[in-house]
Structure 1
Amino acid sequence: MSPGSAAGGADHLADRSERVSPWNLPNALTVLRVILVPVFGWLLLSQGGESTALRIWAAVVFSIATATDWLDGDLARRRGLVTDFGKVADPIADKALMGMALVGLSILGDLPWWITVVILARELGITLLRFWVIRIGVIPASRGGKLKTALQGLGLLLLILPLTGFLHSLGLWVMYAALVVTVVTGLDYVLQALRLRRGAGTS
C-alpha cells in the first residue's frame, strides 16, 4: 500500500514495493474504501438528493472513506507494507470516490458539470502522463497537489451536506479554488513530464 493521495496527494508510482503479503491492514482499508463508493453513491442520489438524513449519512460515509485513504497510507509507510496491489488499487479507490462525489453532485444540480468534467479530465490526463514517463522517472507530488486534494475534499463535503445559504455557497467557492489549483498543478505536471522526456532524449 502507498501513502494516501486523497489525503496527501502522494505519487503512488514513486513508492517502493516491499516483499510483504498483500493481505494486510492498509490494503484492507483500500478495499473498504472501494466498497464504500457505491454505498456513498446510493446515499447521495437516493430520493433525488432531497432527504436530509441520507445526505448527512452520505457525508459521513464520504468522510470515513477519505479518512481511510490517509490512514492506509500512514500505516503502509510506517510499517513497510507498500505492495504492488496497493500502488494500483489505492489511486483507483481514490479516483472512484472523488469521481462518484463529483458526478453525483452534478447529477443533483449542486455542482456545475463543467467543473466535474475539467477535474476528471485532469485526473485521467495526469494518470496517463505518469505512465508515459514512468520508465524514465517519477513526477514527484507537489505542495500544490496536496492543496488541490484538500480543497476538493472540503468543497465536496460542504456540497454533500444538506446546507443552504452561505455555507452552500462557500462549498461552491472552495470548489472554484480547487479547480484553479487543479488546472495549475496539472500544467506543472505536463511541464515536468516534458522535461523528463527531453532529458531522456538527450542522455
Structure 2
Amino acid sequence: MMHPPAATPDPAAHPSDGVSNWNVANYLTMLRIALVPVFGWLLLADGGESDGMRIAAFAVFAVASLTDRIDGDLARARGLVTDFGKVVDPIADKALMGMALIGLSLIDEVPWWITVVILVREIGVTLLRFAVIRHGVMPASRGGKLKTALQAFAIGLFVLPLEGVLHGIAWVLMVAALVVTVVTGVDYVFRAVQLRRNSERTAARRARRRSHR
C-alpha cells in the first residue's frame, strides 16, 4: 500500500537556531511597520475625499502587504526564520490592518463595529502570543494566513474610491474576512492552551512537583 508523502515541516513552527535577527526577511518586516504611518496619512488626507490620495494610499498598502508575503517566503527558503521575526511579523500585519480599518471607519467607509471586532481579535491574539511566549512561539496558522489575505483584499478595495459592483465585492470579502477572523481567533485560544499544556517548561514544572511529593 502506498502511503501519502509526509508533509514538509514548516520552519516557522520550530525554534530558531543561530540565525541572526539582522537579515533581509526581518528588514522587510520593519519596512512594513515604517509604511504604516505613511499609508495612514495618505488615506486620511482631505478627509478621504481625494481620489488621488486614496489611490496613493492603496499603492503603499499594496507594497506593505506584498512585503508580508515576501519576508515569510524568504525566511523559509533561506533559513532565516528567527524568533524575533515570528513575533514581530504578525505585529506588523496587525499594525497595518489596524491603521487601515481605523482609517476607513474615520472616513465612513467601514462601520466601526467591524473595526472593533477585528481589532479586539487581533490585539487579543497578540497578547495571547506574549502570554505563552515562555512556553514557545505560536507561528501563524493556515487559517490566520487566509484571514490576513482576505482582510488585505477587502481593505485594499475599500481604500480605493470604488463604486458599484467592485464596492459590492469589497463587502463580500470583508464579511468573509470577519468570519475567518473570529473563527481563527478561537482556534488560537485552543492552540495557546495546548502549547502551554505540552511545553517543556510545563513538563519540568510537573516533574518538580512530583519530586516534592
- After TM superposition, the score normalised by the length of structure 1 is 0.83
Q: Which moved more, 1:45-54 or 1:78-87?
A: 78-87
Gaps of 5+ in 1: 1-9
What is the CA-CA distance between 1:198 and the residue it aligns to?
5.4
CA distance in 1, matches of 2:139, 2:38: 32
1:120 aligns with 2:115: no
Number of aligned residue pairs: give it.
193
Cα separation, partners in 2 of 1:176 and 1:11, compared to 1, 3 Å:
farther
Tell me the equivalent position of 2:41. Answer: 42
Please list, as runs of the form range in 1=range in 2, the aligned pairs for 1:114-193 lying within 5 A after superposition.
Answer: 114-136=113-135, 139=138, 141-193=140-192
Q: Distance in 1 between matches of 2:67 and 2:26?
A: 10
Classify the secondary structure of the residue corresponding to 1:110. coil
Alignment of 1:13-32 (within 5 A): 14-32=13-31
The aligned amino acid for 2:52 is A
Q: Please, which moves more after superposition, 146-155 or 132-141?
A: 132-141
8 A contact 1:111–1:172 mirrored in 2? no
Counterpart residue identity of residue 192, structure 1: R
CA RMSD, 1 decimal: 2.5
Q: Is the 8 A contact 1:11 1:139 kept in 2?
A: no
**In 2 relative to 1, CA 158–15 (structure 1 residues): closer, same or farther, beyond 3 Å?**
farther
Name which one, 1 or 2, has greater alpha-carbon Rg: 2
Instruction: Report % sequence identity.
Output: 65
Q: Quick one: which amino acid aligns to residue 188 of structure 1?
A: D
Q: 1:104 and 1:28, CA in 2 relative to 1: closer, same or farther beyond 3 A?
A: same
Look up the SS of the partner of 2:18 in the other structure: coil
Tell me the CA shift for residue 167 of structure 1: 1.2
Cα offset, 1:81, TM superposition: 1.8
Q: List gaps (5 residues or longer) in structure 2.
A: 1-9, 207-213
Q: Which has the higher contact order (CA 8 A, sep 6+)?
A: 1
The structural deviation recorded for 1:196 is 4.5
Residue matched to 2:69: 70
Question: SS at the partner of 1:118?
Answer: helix
Query: 2:107 maps to what in 1?
Result: 108
Amino acid at match of 1:107: L
Q: Which residue identity does 2:24 align to in structure 1?
A: L
CA–CA distance in structure 1, aligned partners of residues 165 and 18 of structure 2: 50
Equivalence for 1:3: none
